[in-house]
Structures are given as structure tokens and as C-alpha cells.
């Protein structure tokens, strides 16, 4: 669906390239996470893919067609959820969706249904300028879905949201995946990526350091062991190798004789893997 | 067509919801109309010397009307730039150029209606109906130029106000052409509204004013093309 080969981009009046010869392919129906710290080149790559930046080198094809060959009809096929709110502040949420809907020729989804999806139906007649950042982000998010596009680009879709609304947005993204949409998710929220993406790419200083599925990465970089936390007069914790765990006498003894509080498998988190692979922390 | 009407209706709501915008769109032009229709005849009664300049007063007041319309559209664009709404529009199938043309078209149409009213209903200018329409059209073209100049050179609405003042002064300069006898006055022709004035003055004097009309159209087109490119480069690069 999306194929990028040797893609590079340097901002005018900047000596160093923001994106340095990156390569990746995203098949149709995949949710692909693009992870990296601020300034890593995530948003630049996304801006190239949504045709907001020109003057790149390398190849980028979307739906089998070179990005440069697409005209404005490209935007009938993609939906973009920006990192920062961008609405007409003097218009209400409903009026905003109606305004933007005037730019499409295809049939669109009911704006009230979209607002209800993200819990904004009660605020449909409130001006966007009076919205909190979280409400604006939710309005951003549903605007991307208005024309039912095949490919969705989301830049930090849960940024500024409380846990309830972040959950709501993630559930919608999971549902979009089930519907077969291709999703390009830019984020530095590793937990979001882990939950929502089939594969993730780590990008640092404009270079992709690694691409794989979160599950494969967690197993590859984790410890094959479990940690048991238990009460035996006092709080204690012990690690046991996964291999032969069922026959491990010490492990079985703790299970039988102690009050077990928690058992955790010790696969690595994406945060730990990111730091290990790139030598940099997210932030 | 329905979509266009929806956009226009929502744009007018935006104008009505900000005090400064509706003031510039409705109240300021109303003052200019009142100045020409009500105060000018009274002033002429007390100061008959003004009668010789009533045509010039009409030209300048009409100019104020159309430039304030241009200012309103510029303010809307500056707001949308601040709110990043223009970036969102860049990811819509319509394209940002079409949106900009739509916005400029709204301003041009409103300016045309106001200018035509001013030129015909005041009874000051002696114009053939076709010349009045063409004159109003030339005036209307000043609105998108003012819009683009403001939206290009101002970073925000506060700067926009300062730029608007400069634009208003620059637009007044061609009036000096009426007081300069030599061909040197044509230097003012780099400001397109100079040719609008010359066309209307020729028409008022009974001439067809074809050369002035052609030069006016050319000057507006050239300045528009330059400002449009500059706006795109400054705002979207």
C-alpha cells in the first residue's frame, strides 16, 4: 500500500538532512508504527507521505502510484489526523465538519455520528475555540475519518487526551484495522504502538534503526524468565527461567507454600528495546 | 453549488462572530456610504469649493470600502494560518489554491457589489452602465490585492492591522495623479488602483477609456500574480 525507498529530505536552510535514505513497505490493512523521539524525522516522513513537503529524494509510492504522480484526488484516499489541533475556531464542532466536508465530492459520513464516536455529540454546537486541547484532538481525529479513506495517517493521536478518551481513540483505531484500513501511526507513546501496530519502525536522527513486530521484538530482547512476587513473612521476589518452569522445585514450592502476589513474564518493553537499539531515550 | 453556498454561509457566520470583522465588513463601509450620500452634500452647501473634488472624494471613499473588504478576508486568512486550518485544507481534495481563490472570490464579489452601489447610487459620477460595472469590477480587484498583501506581509492579526494602515496609505497615493500635470504622474501606475482612477476619470469625461481599462486590468493581473506567488511561498514553504 505504501512503499518507501531510499527516501531523504533536507529542509531549506538546514545543513543536515532530516530524513536519511529510509526504506519501508506497509502492506494493505497493516497498522504501522513510526516511533522515535522529537526531531527524529517522524513528522517529516509523514509530511512527505501526505504531500505537504516536496523536494525529497528517493522513491515513495502509495497504492501503486508514485507520490509525485498523485494529484489532489490523493486526498480522497487518505485521511490525516494532525498532531496539533487545526480548526476554524469561530465555528462550532459540527460547523467545522460541515465546512471541511464541502471540499469532498464523495458521500461522507454523518458528522453527528462522527462526533458521537469520540464523545463530542453534546458539544456539537460549541465553538472549537472553546474546546480543551483534548476535545480539539478528538475533533481532529474524526475529521480524518469523514470520507472513509483507505489509508489513515495519525500523528500522536492520543496526545493531550485523558485515559478514558485515549482508550476510546485506540478502540476506534483497532476497529479501523479490523475494517482493513492501512494505518500509519507516528508516535513516541510506546504503549500505544505496542497495542495498535502490527509492526513498528524505530527512527532516530533521520534513520530507521529497526523494523519488526512489537511481539517479536519483546521476545527477542527480553529475558526468558518469570518474576514471582510473594509474601513469606515479608515481601520477596525471585526470577525463574521459563525453560523447565513446570518442573522447577523452587518455583513450585513458592506456589504451594507462599502467598503469591504477582507473576510477570520478563519480556522487554518497547521503551527498553528502543533505548537498547538506538542508544537514545524517547521524549 | 450547494457546497459553495454552505461555505459562503459558514464564512459569513465567522464574520458575524468576530466584532472587528463585522465592523470592517458592514459598519466601516456604511460609514463611507454615509460620508458620500449624506455628509458630502451637506459639506458642499457650507464649503462650495468641495464641489470641484466630489468625484475624487467618491473615488477615495469607494477605495476605502473595497480595501476594508479585502482587510476582512485577510484577517480570516491570518486567523486560519494561526489556527493551522490552512494546513488541514492542504490535505483536502480541493487543494489550497482553490480555497484561496474561493476566499478571494468572496471578497471580490462583495467589493464589487459595494463599489457598484457607490458608483451608481451616489449620482456623482456620470458613467455609462457598462462603464460603472467595469469600474466597480476594477475596484473589486483591489480587495484581493489588499487581502494578499496583508496575509503575506503580516504574521498575525496585530501585524495585520499595521500592514493594513500601510496598504491604505499606499492605495491613496494614486490620488496625487489628479494634482500632477506632467506625464510623471504615470509613475503612480505601479499601483493598480491608479489605472482604476484614470479609467473612471476618462469615463466620467465621456471617453470610452479603453486604454486605461486595458492598463488597469494588466496592472491588477501582474500585481495579483506576484502577490499570490509571494503569499504561497511565505505561507506554505
The pLDDT tens digits for A74-111 are 999 999 999 888 999 999 999 999 999 988 888 889 99
Contact, A3 vs A30, CB < 8 A?
no
**Residue A282 falls inside a structural domain:** no
**Residue A15 falls inside a structural domain:** yes
Q: Does A100 touch chain B (CB under 8 A)?
A: yes
Contact A50 B91 (CB under 8 A): yes
Contact A99 B79 (CB under 8 A): no
Does residue A155 sit in the same domain as residue A110? yes
**ipTM value of the model?**
0.82
Instruction: Give the start-to-end residue ranges of the domains of chain B.
Output: 2-236
Which of B4, B7, B83 is facing A86, going by the closest CB pair?
B83
Residue A246: CB atoms within 10 Å: 8
pLDDT given for residue A281 in this prediction = 64
**Residue A260 falls inside a structural domain:** yes
Cα(A79)–Cα(A150) distance, integer angstroms: 8
DSSP line for A170-218: HHHHHHHHHTT-EEEEEES-HHHHHHH-SEEEEEETTEEEEEE-HHHHH
Alpha helices in B23-156 (DSSP H): 28-34, 40-46, 54-82, 85-89, 96-121, 129-140, 142-153
Single residue among A159, A185, A218 that ends a domain in this structure: A218
- Gap from B40 CA to chain A (nearest CA, Å): 38
Each of the 237 residues of chain B gets a pLDDT tens digit; together they read 777 888 888 999 999 998 889 998 999 889 988 888 888 888 888 888 888 888 899 999 999 999 999 999 999 999 888 888 888 998 999 888 888 899 999 999 999 999 999 999 888 888 899 999 999 999 999 999 999 999 999 988 888 889 999 999 999 999 888 888 788 888 888 999 999 999 999 998 888 889 999 999 999 999 999 999 998 888 776
Q: Does A85 touch chain B (CB under 8 A)?
A: yes
Does residue A129 sit in the same domain as residue A237? no
**Residue A281 falls inside a structural domain:** no
Contact, A48 vs A18, CB < 8 A?
no
Which of B7, B90, B91 is facing A99, going by the closest CB pair?
B7
Of all helices (H) and strands (E), which one includes residue B191?
Answer: none
Does residue A181 sit in the same domain as residue A242? no
Q: Spell B146-180 as b/e; 16+ CB within 10 A means b.
A: bbbbbbbbbeebeebeebbeebeeebeebbebeee
Of all helices (H) and strands (E), which one includes residue A225?
Answer: strand A225-231
Does residue A126 sit in the same domain as residue A42? yes
Contact A72 B93 (CB under 8 A): yes
**Residue A274 falls inside a structural domain:** no
Contact A86 B91 (CB under 8 A): no
Give the domain CATH number at A169.
3.40.50.300
Nearest residue of chain B to residue A70 (CA atoms): B93
Does residue A103 sit in the same domain as residue A233? no
Q: Does A259 touch chain B (CB under 8 A)?
A: no
The mean predicted confidence, pLDDT, of chain A is 89
Query: A232-266, pLDDT tens digit by residue?
Result: 778 889 999 888 888 899 889 888 888 999 998 88
Nearest residue of chain B to residue A48 (CA atoms): B91
Does residue A121 sit in the same domain as residue A197? yes
Single residue among A184, A202, A218 that ends a domain in this structure: A218
Does residue A120 sit in the same domain as residue A253? no
Range of the domain at A150: 2-218
Sign of the CA dihedral B90, B96, B98, B99? positive
Does residue A23 sit in the same domain as residue A96? yes
Does residue A116 sit in the same domain as residue A186? yes
Alpha-carbon radius of gyration of chain B: 18
Cα(B168)–Cα(B146) distance, integer angstroms: 9
- Gap from A99 CA to chain B (nearest CA, Å): 6
Does residue A98 sit in the same domain as residue A229? no
What residues does A60 pair with on adjacent strands?
A4
For chain A, the domain total comes to 2
Does residue A122 sit in the same domain as residue A207? yes
Does residue A192 sit in the same domain as residue A237? no
Amino acid at each position: 500500500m505504501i512503499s518507501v525507498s531510499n527516501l531523504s529530505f533536507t529542509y531549506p536552510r538546514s545543513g543536515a538532512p532530516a530524513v536519511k535514505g529510509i526504506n519501508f513497505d506497509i502492506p494493505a490493512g497493516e497498522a504501522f508504527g513510526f516511533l522515535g523521539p522529537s526531531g527524529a524525522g517522524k513528522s517529516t516522513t509523514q509530511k512527505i507521505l501526505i504531500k505537504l513537503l516536496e523536494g525529497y529524494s528517493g522513491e515513495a509510492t502509495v497504492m501503486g502510484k508514485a507520490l509525485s504522480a498523485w494529484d489532489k484526488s490523493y486526498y480522497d484516499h487518505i485521511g490525516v489526523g494532525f498532531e496539533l489541533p487545526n480548526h476554524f475556531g469561530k465555528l462550532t464542532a459540527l460547523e467545522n465538519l460541515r465546512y471541511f466536508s464541502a471540499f469532498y465530492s464523495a458521500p461522507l459520513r454523518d458528522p453527528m455520528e462522527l462526533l458521537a464516536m469520540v464523545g463530542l455529540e453534546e458539544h456539537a454546537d460549541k465553538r472549537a475555540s472553546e474546546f480543551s486541547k483534548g476535545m480539539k484532538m478528538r475533533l481532529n481525529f474524526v475529521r480524518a475519518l469523514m470520507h472513509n479513506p483507505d489509508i489513515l495517517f495519525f500523528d500522536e493521536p492520543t496526545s493531550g487526551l485523558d485515559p478514558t478518551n485515549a482508550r476510546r481513540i485506540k478502540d476506534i483505531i483497532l476497529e479501523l484495522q479490523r475494517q482493513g484500513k492501512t494505518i500509519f501511526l507516528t508516535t513516541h507513546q510506546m504503549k500505544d504502538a505496542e497495542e495498535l501496530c502490527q509492526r513498528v519502525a524505530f527512527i532516530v536522527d533521520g534513520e530507521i534503526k529497526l523494523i519488526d513486530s512489537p511481539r517479536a521484538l519483546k521476545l527477542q530482547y527480553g529475558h526468558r524468565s518469570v518474576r514471582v512476587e510473594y509474601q513469606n513473612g515479608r515481601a520477596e521476589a525471585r526470577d525463574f527461567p521459563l525453560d523447565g518452569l513446570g518442573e522447577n522445585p523452587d518455583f513450585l514450592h513458592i506456589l504451594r507454600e507462599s502467598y503469591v502476589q504477582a507473576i510477570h513474564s520478563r519480556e522487554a518493553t518497547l521503551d527498553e528495546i528502543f533505548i537498547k537499539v538506538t542508544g537514545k531515550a524517547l521524549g | 453549488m450547494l457546497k459553495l453556498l454552505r461555505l459562503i454561509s459558514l464564512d459569513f457566520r465567522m464574520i458575524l462572530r468576530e466584532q472587528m470583522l463585522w465592523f470592517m465588513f458592514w459598519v466601516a463601509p456604511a460609514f463611507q456610504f454615509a460620508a458620500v450620500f449624506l455628509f458630502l452634500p451637506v459639506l458642499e452647501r457650507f464649503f462650495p469649493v468641495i464641489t470641484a473634488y466630489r468625484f475624487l472624494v467618491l473615488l477615495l471613499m469607494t477605495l476605502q470600502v473595497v480595501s476594508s473588504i479585502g482587510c476582512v478576508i485577510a484577517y480570516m486568512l491570518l486567523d486560519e494560518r494561526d489556527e493551522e486550518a490552512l494546513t488541514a485544507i492542504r490535505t483536502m481534495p480541493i487543494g489550497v489554491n482553490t480555497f484561496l481563490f474561493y476566499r478571494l472570490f468572496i471578497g471580490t464579489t462583495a467589493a464589487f457589489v459595494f463599489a457598484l452601489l457607490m458608483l451608481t447610487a451616489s449620482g456623482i459620477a456620470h458613467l455609462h452602465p457598462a462603464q460603472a460595472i467595469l469600474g466597480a469590477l476594477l475596484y473589486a480587484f483591489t480587495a484581493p490585492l489588499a487581502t494578499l498583501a496583508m496575509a503575506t506581509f503580516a504574521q498575525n492579526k496585530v501585524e495585520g492591522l499595521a500592514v493594513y494602515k500601510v496598504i491604505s496609505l499606499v492605495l491613496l497615493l494614486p490620488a496625487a495623479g489628479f494634482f500632477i500635470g506632467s506625464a510623471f504622474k504615470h509613475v503612480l501606475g505601479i499601483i493598480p488602483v491608479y489605472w482604476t482612477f484614470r479609467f473612471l476619470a476618462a469615463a466620467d469625461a465621456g471617453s470610452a477609456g479603453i486604454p486605461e481599462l486595458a492598463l488597469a486590468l494588466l496592472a491588477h493581473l501582474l500585481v495579483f500574480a506576484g502577490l499570490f506567488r509571494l503569499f504561497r511561498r511565505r505561507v506554505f514553504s
